[in-house]
């Protein structure tokens, strides 16, 4: 019987089963192995082809009969094919990374490249950067040595890096507020790549985008390395187009849909409709806060003022930003604290629901901030630039709820 799959120590968060089974028509098993189980598994050779992940990418090498040049240069293998009893090793992290670089039109040749982190993923990427003939490659790590310099040394001498590649886990969920370095320091920066794919866009990638630079997340590389592994598994060539299709599909499924805009603009109502149309879960952030506090919004404002409410709103934003594939209607003031949007944007595509001001005035007790035309106008003045700044898309809501929800669904599906 043919057997395909992935070995590694902890595999519960792996996307590989989903990706492989979308590209090929075999069953792909996640096979977590403890350190004790690992040697027996490799000696038995009872598989057709496997991928290898942390911590076994180096440890598999002694069990193999041959490895290709890239895997040899890197000293790590992520793909093993059993060809009539002979185990052959490859490294598609290397080729997957090169796919991602080329796809985004990023040139490494003659560039000063800064690689953050010096672990397994870094080894493959360092080999790829060398292959692309970078002018200079600096590796920085929290642990100095083994080819890596310290952050101190990096800040003292290498702020002229042109391309930054994060191979470290810094910025990965659940510590997604973190970034390995402040991009503002790097005055020659042209592009940033990150191997982390949960969240879909790390803080580092969003910082690059905010500076008008290409910021590339690790999901594309993940899909590319899997597609190239399938090619080795089945000894066939597959069109690269499948990478983009699959990458976009996973991104669409995992991204949250975040609705922002003035109070009464229609975020809650439209959010429910979008969720229903797309078969996604709906979360209303105000309702989430009320449920968690056991108090109504006016009650929270009364007891702890706007600041008290904003603190609870930030807690909710950070918690909900870790969700996947939900439609999240925020409260109108979400944009007032940058940290809220910093988190929500990591796993979300942001829609600004724009409704004309005269339609926003309300005597609803639940909206203590929008009871008069003056109050609404003042609030609008204060926030409009922020709504625009954070929006990936601006959608008009001056006709029907249905029309607006339909427009959002259209944008999501294109």
Ligand X SMILES: Nc1ncnc2c1ncn2[C@@H]1O[C@H](COP(=O)(O)OP(=O)(O)O)[C@@H](O)[C@H]1O
Ligand Y SMILES: O=C(O)C1=C[C@@H](OP(=O)(O)O)[C@@H](O)[C@H](O)C1
CB of 271 to Mg ion, least distance (A): 8
Contact 150, 120 (CB under 8 A): no
Does residue 308 contact residue 333 with C-beta atoms inside 8 Å?
no
106-145 binders of ligand Y (CB under 6 A): none
- Report whether 130 belongs to an annotated binding site: no
User: Is 330 annotated as contributing to ligand binding?
Assistant: no
249 labelled binding-site residue? no
User: Among residues 5, 171, 215, 331, which is the contact residue for ligand Y, using CB under 6 A?
Assistant: 331
Contact positions toward ligand X, by CB under 6 A? 261, 263-269, 329, 397, 400-401
C-alpha 21/C-alpha 246 separation (Å) is 11
Does 310 carry a binding-site annotation? yes
Cβ proximity to ligand X, 110 vs 400, nearer residue? 400
Whole-number Å distance between alpha carbons of 353 and 391: 9
Annotated ligand binding at 312? The verdict is: no
Binding piece for ligand Y, criterion CB under 6 A, among 4-12, 77-85, 189-197, 361-369? 361-369
Least Å distance, CB 373 to ligand X, is: 16
Cβ closest to Mg ion, residue 252 vs residue 323: 323
- The reply on whether position 268 binds Mg ion by CB under 5 A is yes
Closest approach of Cβ 107 to ligand Y, in Å? 45
Question: Does the protein bind ligand Y through residue 287 (CB under 6 A)?
Answer: no
- H helix runs in 237-391, sequence order: 241-254, 267-278, 285-293, 297-321, 338-344, 373-390
| Rounded Cα–Cα distance for residues 28 and 49 (Å) | 10
The answer to whether 2 and 26 are in contact (CB under 8 A) is yes
144 is catalytic: no
Residue 185 or residue 401: which is nearer to ligand X going by CB? 401
β-strand 79-83 against 348-354: which pairing, if any?
Answer: unpaired
CB of 260 to ligand X, least distance (A): 9
Q: Give the range of 68-76, 111-119, 136-144, 362-370 binding ligand Y by CB under 6 A.
A: 362-370
Instruction: State the Cα torsion 405-407-410-411 to the nearest 10°.
Output: -110
Partners of 251 in the beta sheet?
A: none
Task: Work out which of 254, 355, 367, 407 binds ligand Y, going by CB under 6 A.
Answer: 367
CB atoms within 10 A of CB 119: 15
**Which of 57, 203, 227, 280 does the annotation list as catalytic?**
57
Does the annotation flag 332 for ligand binding? yes
Burial 309-339 (b: 16+ CB within 10 A, else e): bbebbbebbbebbeebebbbbbbbbbbbeee
Q: CA angle 262-267-273, nearest 5°? A: 165
Of 141 and 313, which has the nearer Cβ to ligand Y? Answer: 313
Out of ligand X, Mg ion, ligand Y, none, what residue 297 binds, judged by CB under 5 to 8 A for its kind, is ligand Y
Give yes or no for a contact between 344 and 256, defined as CB atoms under 8 angstroms apart: yes
Residues that bind Mg ion (CB under 5 A): 267-268
- Give catalytic residue positions: 57
Residues that bind ligand Y (CB under 6 A): 263-264, 267-268, 286, 297, 331-333, 367-369
């Amino acid at each position: 019987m043919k057997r395909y799959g992935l070995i590694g120590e902890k595999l519960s968060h792996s996307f590989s089963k989903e990706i492989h089974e979308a590209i090929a028509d075999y069953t792909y098993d996640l096979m977590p192995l403890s350190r004790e189980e690992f040697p027996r598994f490799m000696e038995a050779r009872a598989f057709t082809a496997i991928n290898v992940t942390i911590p076994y990418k180096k440890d598999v090498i002694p069990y193999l009969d041959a490895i290709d040049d890239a895997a040899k240069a890197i000293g790590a293998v992520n793909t093993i094919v059993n060809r009539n009893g002979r185990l052959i090793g490859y490294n598609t992290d290397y080729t997957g990374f090169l796919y991602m670089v080329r796809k985004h039109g990023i040139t490494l040749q003659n560039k000063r490249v800064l690689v953050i982190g010096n672990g397994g993923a870094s080894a493959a990427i360092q080999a790829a950067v060398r292959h692309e003939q970078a002018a200079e490659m600096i590796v920085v790590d929290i642990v100095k040595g083994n080819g890596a310099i310290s952050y101190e040394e990096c800040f003292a001498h290498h702020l002229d890096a042109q391309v930054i590649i994060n191979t470290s886990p810094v910025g990965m969920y659940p510590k997604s507020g973190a970034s390995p370095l402040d991009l503002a320091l790097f005055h020659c920066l042209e592009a940033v790549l990150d191997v982390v794919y949960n969240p879909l866009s790390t803080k580092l990638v969003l910082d690059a985008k905010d500076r008008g630079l290409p910021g590339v997340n690790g999901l594309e590389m993940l899909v590319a390395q899997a597609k190239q592994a399938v090619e080795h598994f089945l000894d066939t060539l597959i069109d690269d187009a499948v990478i983009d299709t699959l990458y976009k599909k996973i991104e669409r499924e995992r991204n949250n849909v975040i609705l922002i805009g003035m109070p009464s603009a229609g975020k809650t109502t439209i959010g429910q409709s979008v969720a229903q149309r797309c078969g996604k879960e709906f979360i209303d952030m105000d309702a989430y806060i009320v449920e968690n506090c056991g108090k109504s919004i006016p009650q929270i404002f009364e007891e702890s003022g706007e600041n008290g409410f904003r603190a609870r709103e930030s807690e909710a934003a950070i918690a909900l930003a870790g969700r996947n594939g939900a439609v999240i209607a925020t409260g109108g003031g979400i944009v007032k604290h940058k940290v809220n949007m910093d988190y929500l944007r990591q796993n979300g595509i942001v829609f600004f629901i724009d409704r004309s001001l005269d339609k926003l005035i309300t005597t609803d007790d639940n909206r203590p901030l929008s009871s008069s035309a003056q109050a609404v106008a003042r609030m609008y003045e204060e926030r409009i630039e922020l709504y625009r700044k954070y929006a990936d898309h601006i959608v008009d809501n001056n006709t029907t709820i249905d029309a607006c929800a339909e427009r959002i669904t259209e944008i999501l599906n294109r």
